[in-house]
Amino acid sequence: MEPGLFEVAFTEFTEASGRWRDTSPVDLLGRWERFVAECERGYRQDDEDYVNDLTSRMAIERAMRSEELARFPEMAEFRRQVVRIDERFRVLLHPDVFPNLPAEEWWARGMVRYAGHKLVNDLRKRGVTIDLVSEGNDAPDDS
């Protein structure tokens, strides 16, 4: 199936913004949703991977703020899907762990409450403490 005008315009906008993969609306939303799902289970990668994975949300934000893309009726559904995924991510965060970032970038200002040992250890070196998810569990042990 040939991409529609919205998908073509979105992809061109995202590529022009410097993103080199996951540039279509479906691919970019999919990347954000997979990242959030991984965080719900306890993110298992290191801090560099975590920050890299957050770039998908920044690309989404740029697209949602674009006047060029706002004229497409498909943007309303795109925004609804982003809000749905964002709601899942917000509950996972300690807010304002990195207060020097702009308030509008809440996804980057916060930090997940729990993760695997790589991210927990990397953050500890930076003075940030989050809970460790045991290797067999999808959430930290609350006992």
Residues 40-49: pLDDT tens digits? Answer: 999 999 999 9
> Is residue 65 situated within a structural domain?
yes
Long-range CB pairs of 86-93 (<8 Å, 24+ gap) are 88/36, 88/40, 89/36, 89/39, 92/36, 92/39, 92/40
> Is residue 111 situated within a structural domain?
yes
> Is residue 142 situated within a structural domain?
no
Identify the pLDDT of residue 135: 66
What distance in Å separates the CA atoms of residue 11 and residue 7, rounded to the nearest whole number?
6
β-pairing, 111-112 vs 93-94, is antiparallel
β-pairing, 131-132 vs 114-115, is parallel
What distance in Å separates the CA atoms of residue 111 and residue 128, rounded to the nearest whole number?
9
> Is residue 59 situated within a structural domain?
yes
> Is residue 139 situated within a structural domain?
no
Q: What percent of the chain has pLDDT over 90?
A: 91
Q: Is 2 helix (H, G, I), strand (E, B) or coil?
A: coil
What total number of domains does the chain contain? 1
What distance in Å separates the CA atoms of residue 10 and residue 24, rounded to the nearest whole number?
6
> Is residue 96 situated within a structural domain?
yes
Report residues of the chain scoring pLDDT below 50.
141-143
The whole domain housing 32 covers: 5-132
Identify the pLDDT of residue 116: 96
Beta bridge partners of 112: 93
Q: At 53, list the tokens.
A: 């994975």
What distance in Å separates the CA atoms of residue 130 and residue 73, rounded to the nearest whole number?
40
